[in-house]
Structure 1
Amino acid sequence: MSPLQATKLWLVNNLNLAKDALHIYVALGLLFGSALLFGWRLSSWKPWLVVAAGAVIGEIWDIRDRYVDGTAQNFAANVHDLWNTIFWPSVILFLARRTNLFRNSGKTR
């Protein structure tokens, strides 16, 4: 078992998460983390691209691990994981670009 698979299994078992939830948490962590770390706005394509790259790399790693382990490939599951990982960051990017939801109004409360 690769380190990635061992880490995912540990997180799922010890945090009582579904694998789908793990994809969402990692995606949002990458989106907000990269925006904070590099000072990017959520309306920029850059944080979204970090998530997309992470999702693709993760799925390639999963395909590789299945190949090495001699496990049958399930490309439909890979597509599902990509979709699941990219969905909320895509919604956030859309909202940041098309609404005032993520804009600083300059008002304090």
Structure 2
Amino acid sequence: METSAFQSLKLAVVSATGLSKDALHVYVGLAVFLATSVALRKPLRSAVPWLAAIAVALAGEALDMRDDIASFGHWRWAASMHDILNTLFWPTVLLLLAKFGVLRNAK
């Protein structure tokens, strides 16, 4: 089975950065969360940046699921859950800290 363009892109990013796939999930989730907050001028306590991080995580895992089924004949759902948790961990922490007032300047 041929490697999909999405998987090739992921492998190229891993190779170029020298980071693990897990680390990249963490960075992507945090970057999407913060960039959405800044771009849309939404406070960190808003659900909008967090939902953007979820959307990106789910879209990536949908592509991985497609590739898993094509390559392995089944979806490796545990690996997808692992990736989603890695992607959403820090956005969730920051959202909760901002919502409960720990991050006081995060309007």
TM-score by length of 2: 0.89
CA distance in 2, matches of 1:77, 1:102: 36
CA distance in 2: counterparts of 1:97 and 1:81, whole angstroms = 25
1:89 alignment partner, SS class: helix
Q: Which residue of 2 aligns with 1:80?
A: 82
Q: Tell me the amino acid that sits aligned with residue 63 of structure 1.
A: M
Task: Say whether 1:4 aligns with 2:6.
Answer: yes
Q: Is the 8 A contact 1:42 1:102 kept in 2?
A: no
1:50 and 1:73 mapped to 2: Cα distance? 24
Unaligned 5+ segments in structure 2 are: none
Distance 1:86 1:51 in 2: 7
Residue in 2 that maps onto 1:107? none
Q: Distance in 2 between matches of 1:10 and 1:67?
A: 22
Counterpart CA distance in 2 for 1:64 and 1:8 is 15
Aligned partners of 1:89, 1:52: CA distance in 2, in Å? 9
Residues 15-94 of structure 1 mapped to structure 2, 5 A cutoff: 15-70=17-72, 72-94=74-96
Shift of 1:100: 3.9
Question: 1:96 is matched with which residue?
Answer: 98
Structure number with greater CO (CA < 8 Å, separation at least 6) is: 2
Superposition CA RMSD, Å: 1.8
Q: Provide the aligned length of Structure 1 versus Structure 2.
A: 105
Q: Which digits, 9 at most, give the CA deviation of each residue in 1:70-105, with x for residues without a partner?
A: 45532111111111111110000000111242516x
Identity, % of aligned positions: 38
| Structure-1-length-normalised TM-score | 0.87
Greater alpha carbon shift after TM alignment, 68-77 vs 18-27: 68-77
